[in-house]
Amino acid sequence: MEIYLIRHTSVDVPPQTCYGQTDVPLKESFEQEAAEVMQNLTGVTFDKVFTSPLTRCVRLADYCGYDYAERDARIMEMDFGEWEMKHYDEIRDPRLQEWYKDFMKVTVPGGESFKDQFSRVAEFFDELRAKPLNRVGIFAHGGVLICAQVYAGTVALEDAFSSITPYGGIIKIEL
């Protein structure tokens, strides 16, 4: 099965802000960025299209002509809990340093760890693999794209965050 992983376009939040599952606005450049994504998908047909239910993904899916995309909460970005919408420099929680040292296992207060996010994304892909589909489009988030690539074995976990997909980027994996 071919899977096209499509990251949402640029968000309008200050740099270094935890915005995981917060429904944040997109930059004014949305139409230009979305047009480029749509151009990069020209000629590609999907048996099924999925999207995160957050508007930054739904809006891009809609713009690209996939207003029928199935929304699935398992492909939402990491839940940063109490840290949502806080600048990293403003987080006074001592667990932040623990999370930096072991984001894989340390759970964000009121949120989740990377392992938690990976588990729900893996559950989504386990179900997807069981379906008789040849080509699938998925509109999602940077963290979800990392999880998907680790799941597919195309990226090692220790290298995943050094090659994060840019906004509006498309990655193709095989399952």
pLDDT for 15: 93
What's the average model confidence in pLDDT over 45-60? 98
CB 143 within 8 A of CB 117: yes
Kindly state the tokens that stand for 23: 């429904």
CA separation for the pair 49, 83 (Å, rounded) = 31
pLDDT over 70, % of the chain: 100
DSSP H stretches of helix in 26-66: 30-40, 55-63
pLDDT for 90: 93
**CB burial class (10 A; 0-12, 13-18, 19+) of residue 71?**
middle
* DSSP state at residue 166: P
Kindly state the tokens that stand for 58: 């739904």
What's the chain's Rg over C-alpha atoms? 16
Q: What is the largest CA-CA distance in the chain?
A: 50
Lowest mean per-residue pLDDT among 10-14, 139-143, 155-159, 171-175: 155-159
Sheet with 135-140, side-by-side order of all strands: 70-71, 48-51, 135-140, 2-7, 170-174
CATH code: domain of residue 154: 3.40.50.1240
* DSSP state at residue 59: H
Containing structural domain, residue 97: 2-174
DSSP H stretches of helix in the chain: 30-40, 55-63, 95-101, 114-129, 142-152, 157-160
In Å, how far are 3, 30, 67, 101, 142 from 161, measured between CA atoms? 20, 24, 30, 14, 9
pTM for the whole structure: 0.96
Task: List, for residues 124-162, the tens digit of each pLDDT value.
Answer: 999 999 999 999 999 999 999 999 999 999 999 888 778
Residue 33's CB is within 10 A of a number of other CB atoms, namely: 18
What's the average model confidence in pLDDT over 44-62? 98
Nearest CA to 140 among 104, 172, 168?
Answer: 168
pLDDT for 65: 98
CB 148 within 8 A of CB 123: no
The total domain count for the chain is: 1
